[in-house]
Amino acid sequence: MTKRLTLLPGIALIGMLFLIPVGIVFQQGLFDPVFTTEHFVRFATRGAYMRIFWSTLQISTVVALVCLLVGYPIAYFIVRQPPARRPFLMFLVLVPMWMSILARTYSWMVVLGKEGIINQSLIWLGLIDEPIKMLFTTGAVYVAMVQIMLPILIVTCFSSMTEIDQSLLRAARIMGASPRKAFREVFLPLSAEGAITGTLIVFILSMGFFIVPALLGGRRDAMLANVISGQVSQTNWGFAAAISIVLLGATLLVLVLVRGASAKLVHHQEEAH
Amino acid sequence: MQGSRVHFEKVTKSFGETVALTDFNLDIAPGEFVTLLGASGSGKSTALNILAGFSDATSGEVYTGDRPLTGVAPEHRNVGMVFQNFALFPHKTVAENVAFPLRMRKGARDEIDRRVKAALEMVQLGAFAARKPAALSGGQRQRVALARAVVFEPPVLLMDECLSALDLKLREELQDEIRRIHREIGTTVLFVTHDQTEALTMSDRIAILEGGKIVQIDAPEVLYDRPRTRFVADFIGQSNMFDLSAVTDGTAAVPDMGIDIPVSDPTAVAISIRPERLRVIPGENTSGLSVFQGVVEDETFFGPVVAQTVRLRSGRRLEVRSQRSGHDRLPHTGQTITLAFDPADAAPLVAT
Ligand SMILES: Nc1ncnc2c1ncn2[C@@H]1O[C@H](COP(=O)(O)OP(=O)(O)O)[C@@H](O)[C@H]1O
Ligand SMILES: [Mg+2]
């Protein structure tokens, strides 16, 4: 019983900082002042909102998958290095995370802009005559989001990979597996759990992204968080709350679906208990 | 199945400054059970890893049968291996683990099933096929690792300190089991341990490693009765070692005992006498024995055996083990006693 009591401060903290705000959001979205689905109907029937909803899902999915495709091999490369060299490589991966997302987003403006580093270099090299439009495009949003999220995925993958016992790979080899087979049969399944977790984290964070699309994207690259912010600044609390609920629901749904699917694909060690 | 000959020829291995193996020569007959015995860091794992193909020798060559192995990837060496930490795949069931080497060799499905079943039966784990390794005890995991290593009938089987993680009773059980399986399948076994008892009970021959070099390789009883160096005499069992004066005409003085004894090896610099080969004599016939005196300083009672520490006149101490037979009383602490040994029981030791 005393064990339970020591949990109380934690529960109180979660209640105050998480449950109450979420409760207020739900209350705002569903009552105006009596129960209504008006905000949700508005969201679902206006083409523009639904388009932004789908594009938010699409951007988040693509960013998460690109991070996985780029980050997993990087993490694998680092794990394969001699242990003495790994901390330095991980340090390099983590350095960008010390900068605020805002600062990094502004840096991308400097890099991608009309007078930015890339355009200047290409013109100087004589490869192009006119600057290419890179800033305020969907591409810019993707590039910056992937750059910002990549360390998160690498760290998650790396930590799950370092837990894989190297003698398992040796065992696979001595039993007749080529390096590629050993990777497929042993390393991949054992690192999949971490990779999926990392990908989901990137997806969840991407779903709520706000600064990058606002500063680097074009007018049609707004994401749901930008719409919410717009509605809040117009004091449309109810509608803003409703969009937040949709965002939360969609994120949770994807989370549950992916976890369910991966539990079937990946064998869990714990299964046997 | 037939085991194949394993042959290390002048193998050396260095890691930068560290020399892990020097002039390592070992010739193992087909079907033989040979143990590498040595302290931690003596190069046992290095030798196994070179044979398995996990690391390359700095120089020298390793053969299985007549086939030189340099440049052959581990997966093409057809060698079975049991790892120290078992190295079972945690995401695969027991049956899938054991099937792994067969699958890599692209066997037919029902043939694989049949052999997995037979291998699991051999280690008495038929009922555990569907479990994950996490749901097994240490001994069961060890058995799975063993089944997995032999299921594809490799002509060579390597085991690296694979029993050291288990408690004594289990270890003895598995020692018997490994011996039995070795007899059944007839594969050549290269076994690694730092436990001398394990080496003595299991092996056809034992190679003692010191600092990356084999200092003696012999059958267990030869190793025990006739150690060649101080290191071996000390490493295997208990031993009393005495310096010798120079051997002349087959005789040398043992200054600590104050006697001369016959010594067969003219290069010997010391002798080793096992504690149980020393006899406490009240005055029986001592012809042909070497006799000297000392004072009992301490004794430890083991039931049928009593171990006594005896101080010689020179101040040297030695260990005597006596069987307590019948009603004869053993001399007590403080008493001066006469000790005797058959010079044939004194193993001549050479300098390293
Ligand atoms: N990968 C390595 N890098 C550097 N030194 C090593 C490496 N592997 C083994 N050694 C060194 O080689 C020697 C022999 O090691 P090892 O064969 O593992 O000994 P054992 O298995 O008998 O305990 C030790 O001094 C060890 O420190
Ligand atoms: Mg070792």
Q: What pLDDT does A269 receive?
A: 41
Average pLDDT over every residue of A243-267: 89
The position carrying tokens 């027991």 is B94
What's the complex ipTM?
0.85
Which of B14, B22, B45, B161 to probe ligand 1 with, by most ligand atoms within 8 A of CB?
Answer: B45
B41 CA from centroid of ligand 1 (Å): 6
Is residue B52 in some structural domain?
A: yes
Nearest Cα residue to B190 out of B210, B214, B171: B214
Please say which residue of B231, B249, B276 terminates a domain.
B231
Q: What pLDDT does A272 receive?
A: 37
Identify the sign of the CA torsion A208, A214, A218, A220: positive
Question: Is the same domain home to B119 and B267?
Answer: no
The structural domain count of chain A equals: 1
Task: Give me the residue from B79, B85, B104 closest to A165, CB to CB.
Answer: B85
| % of chain A beyond a pLDDT of 70 | 96
Give the CATH number, domain containing residue A195: 1.10.3720.10
Is residue B154 in some structural domain?
A: yes
Give kind and range of the element (H or E) at residue B308.
Answer: strand B305-312
Q: Is residue B68 pLDDT above 70, yes or no? A: yes
Question: Is the same domain home to B216 and B111?
Answer: yes
The structural domain count of chain B equals: 2
Please say which residue of B215, B231, B247 terminates a domain.
B231
Is residue A31 in some structural domain?
A: no
**What pLDDT band is residue A45 in, cutting at 50, 70 and 90?**
very high
Question: Is the same domain home to B81 and B187?
Answer: yes
Q: What is the pLDDT of residues B133-190, one digit of tens each?
A: 999 999 999 999 999 999 999 999 999 999 988 889 989 999 999 999 999 999 999 9
Is residue B66 in some structural domain?
A: yes
Residues in chain B with CB shorter than 8 Å from the CB of A193 are none
- Residues lying with their CB under 5 A of ligand 2, a single-atom ion: B 45
B191 CA from centroid of ligand 2 (Å): 11
Q: Is residue B332 pLDDT above 50, yes or no? A: yes
Q: Which residues constitute the domain of residue B168?
A: 6-231
Q: What's the CA gap between A269 and B50, in Å, rounded?
A: 32
Give the CATH number, domain containing residue B320: 2.40.50.140
Is residue B176 in some structural domain?
A: yes
Is residue B98 in some structural domain?
A: yes
From residue B4, give the alpha-carbon distance in Å to each of A91, A145, B33.
49, 59, 12
Please say which residue of B231, B255, B290 terminates a domain.
B231
Are the C-beta atoms of A151 and A91 separated by less than 8 Å?
no
Is residue A157 in some structural domain?
A: yes
Question: Is the same domain home to B99 and B119?
Answer: yes
Q: What pLDDT does A270 receive?
A: 40
Peptide bond into B30 cis (omega under 30): no
Q: How many CA atoms lie within 13 A of A228 on its CB side?
A: 21
Question: Is the same domain home to B60 and B209?
Answer: yes
Is residue B1 in some structural domain?
A: no
Are the C-beta atoms of B260 and B244 separated by less than 8 Å?
no
Is residue A9 in some structural domain?
A: no
- Among chain B residues, CA nearest to A273: B135
Q: What is the pLDDT of residues B303-318, one digit of tens each?
A: 888 899 999 989 999 9
* Secondary structure of residue B349 in the 3-state scheme: strand
**Ligand 1 neighbour B15 (Cβ under 6 A):** yes
- CB of B54 less than 8 A from some CB of A: yes
B43 CA from centroid of ligand 1 (Å): 6
Q: Which residues constitute the domain of residue A254?
A: 36-272
Question: Is the same domain home to B178 and B278?
Answer: no
Q: Supply the residue whose CA is at minimum distance from atom 5 of ligand 1.
A: B15
Q: What's the CA gap between B261 and B266, in Å, rounded?
A: 13
Average pLDDT along chain A? 91
- CB of B134 less than 8 A from some CB of A: yes
Average pLDDT over every residue of B238-247: 92
**Ligand 1 neighbour B270 (Cβ under 6 A):** no
| DSSP character string of A134-145 | -TTSHHHHHHHH
Is residue A181 in some structural domain?
A: yes
From residue B101, give the alpha-carbon distance in Å to each of A221, A227, B95, B116.
52, 57, 11, 10
Q: What's the CA gap between B139 and B144, in Å, rounded?
A: 9
